[in-house]
Amino acid sequence: DGGITQSPKYLFRKEGQNVTLSCEQNLNHDAMYWYRQDPGQGLRLIYYSQIVNDFQKGDIAEGYSVSREKKESFPLTVTSAQKNPTAFYLCASSIDAGGRSTDTQYFGPGTRLTVL
Amino acid sequence: QKEVEQNSGPLSVPEGAIASLNCTYSDRGSQSFFWYRQYSGKSPELIMFIYSNGDKEDGRFTAQLNKASQYVSLLIRDSQPSDSATYLCAIRYSSASKIIFGSGTRLSIRP
């Protein structure tokens, strides 16, 4: 079964803790992305990676960190520096990082993070 | 200024009618346009993409693109209750990996 998996589905964090969200894909896609979605809002880009061992900041990268050591994996760490981390986090991937017009992003099921 | 604008809704449409969802954008360098459907509590799923002016049809869905007027629309024919969801418009600018998402339009199909 090809697809994108995210874990955990629900995550609860105490203030001051770092947490890591997992994202794995077996689609052989080059590019991977992390988005944050707040209630009633669209998706905001946190980080993206076009190739292994390289990644770029998105629009709201402060308080987050990522790594891309393997093509299949793009974990996101929400650090204690992120002041309002409660949100729905979505990971996506796409075939071609070169920006072809038809390149499409596909999403994982998401992780809902709540800060207690 | 937002780069991708959508009416948040809710847009209420009777079952069997045509639902029309609109999206406007500010950058004339926009290259390709995507419509995603998102059910409450779920992740977005791609409905279709379009990058040439005109209409593109896929089953009950038709995407319409007008680059001169900077808008893209999604028409849903024979609306069903299962079409009730939030519809996200997304745009890729030329030579970019990033996609910019609108905030979505909530569609409700009433029986």
Query: In chain B, which residues have their Cβ closer than 8 Å to the Cβ of A102?
Result: 32, 49, 51
SS3 for A42-93 is CEEEEEEEEECCEEEECCCCCCEEECCCECCECCEEECCCCCCCCEEEEEEE
How close does chain B come to A16, measured CA to CA in Å?
26
Say whether residue B31 is in contact with chain A using an 8 A CB cutoff.
Answer: yes
User: Is the backbone of residue A101 left (phi > 0), alpha (psi -120 to 50) or beta?
Assistant: alpha
Question: Tens of pLDDT along B61-88?
Answer: 999 999 999 999 999 999 999 999 999 9
C-alpha to C-alpha distances, B42 to A91, A111, B5, B111, nearest whole angstrom: 12, 10, 22, 23
How many other CB atoms are found less than 10 A from the CB of residue A16?
8
Dist CA B59 CA B72 (whole Å): 18
pLDDT at B37: 98
Q: 3-state DSSP call for residue B76?
A: strand
The nearest alpha carbon in chain B to A57 belongs to B98
Overall average pLDDT of the A4-14 stretch? 94
Query: In chain A, which residues have their Cβ closer than 8 Å to the Cβ of B98?
Result: 45, 48, 58
Say whether residue A43 is in contact with chain B using an 8 A CB cutoff.
Answer: yes
Tokens of B52: 């040439």
Average pLDDT of the residues of chain A: 91
pLDDT at B63: 97
User: Residues A8, A17: contact at Cβ < 8 Å?
Assistant: no
A96 exposure class (CB count in 10 Å sphere: 0-12, 13-18, 19+): middle
Question: Tens of pLDDT along A34-61?
Answer: 999 998 888 999 999 989 999 999 999 9
Buried-state track B11-39, b at ≥16 Cβ within 10 A, e below 16: bebeeeeebebebbbeeeebbbbbbbbbe
Average pLDDT of the residues of chain B: 92
Say whether residue B71 is in contact with chain A using an 8 A CB cutoff.
Answer: no
Q: Determine the residue type at A90.
A: L
pLDDT at A101: 60
Quick check: B1 pLDDT over 70? Answer: no
In percent, the amount of chain A with pLDDT more than 70 equals 93
The nearest alpha carbon in chain B to A98 belongs to B97
User: Residues B110, B49: contact at Cβ < 8 Å?
Assistant: no
Say whether residue A101 is in contact with chain B using an 8 A CB cutoff.
Answer: yes
How many other CB atoms are found less than 10 A from the CB of residue B92?
25
Quick check: B3 pLDDT over 90? Answer: no
